[in-house]
Amino acid sequence: MITGLACALGAALGYGVGSVLQAAAARQEPLAEGLDPGLLLRLLRSWRYVVGLGLDGLGFVLILVAVQSLPLFVVQSMVAGFLAVTAVLGAVFLEMPLSRRDWIGLGVTVVGLSLVGLSGTDERPATIRLAEQWWVLGAAVALGVLAVPCGRWNGTRGAAALGAVAGLAFGATSVAARMLPDRLSLAHPLASLGDLLRSPAAYALVVAGAVALLAYSTALQRGSVTAATAPLVVGETVLPALVGLLVLGDRTRQGWELVAAVGFTLAVAGAVSLARHGEPSVAASS
């Protein structure tokens, strides 16, 4: 469990630094018209975006490790703390100073994350059915379809809509990761590969990851970092936490249900409060 908590916190740090680097790169590109896959190709020419993407990749690997030993509500709320990292670094590097309200939001987030961490347990009695994996894959495809009209909106509305889609897609990747076959082993890579290729959850993870990456990169062009990221936090924490509790058999430590609920609420509310941080800005033309 300690390893899982450390991985979740490491993922939050990686995501926080990565999002600021990606935002800096996205603002150097001309404003994309709609949901343009070519934006990702252009951004790959920027070292900031490549490093940010690498940190995202590292964070994702850490989440894969964390969800193997912790309930989703613990992992996702911990990862939501990356908005606090984003806000602080955004204030330093993107000229978006923190107000007193922002600092209160940061403090509330930290308290909430601490309570969630204390209430978690490493018991995971879930049995995953094939139909549930297909549902996650279907949801990932549906999010890709939904992202297309959202990509036509500019300004804060576009940033919020695409951020929400990206958050739900990132949440779907965490749910899919929990549904991957238990028999995966580095000692038997061929057998593990066969299990992966037969698992709809593996395809859901890839589809949802691609949708999340493109939607979030586009959202960063539409408004401030936190305007795009706050709805992402809600999308990637609340729904996966509910799926974990209702479908995947996640549980809190015995007698800590109220502490977990309060901590989760505080963590998400504190992160969402940071949506007010930073004025929306128009991407700069290169």
Task: Return the pLDDT at 281.
Answer: 42
Alpha-carbon distance of 42 to 68, in angstroms, equals: 35
Express each pLDDT in 196-231 by its tens digit.
788 898 899 999 999 998 898 888 777 766 677 778
- The predicted model scores a pTM of 0.75
What size, in residues, is the chain? 286
| Residue 23 neighbours by CB under 8 Å, 6+ apart | 90, 94, 220, 225
Question: Where are the chain's structural domains?
Answer: 2-276
Helix (H, G, I), strand (E, B) or coil at 252: strand
Q: What is the pLDDT of residue 142?
A: 96
Identify the CA nearest to 143 among candidates 120, 116, 172, 122.
Answer: 172
Q: What is the dihedral of CA 238, 243, 245, 247, to 10 degrees?
A: 170
- The pLDDT tens digits for 248-272 are 878 888 888 888 888 888 887 877 7
Place of tokens 């082993």: 185
pLDDT digits (tens, 9 = 90+) for 30-76: 766 666 777 777 888 888 888 988 998 898 888 878 887 788 888 87
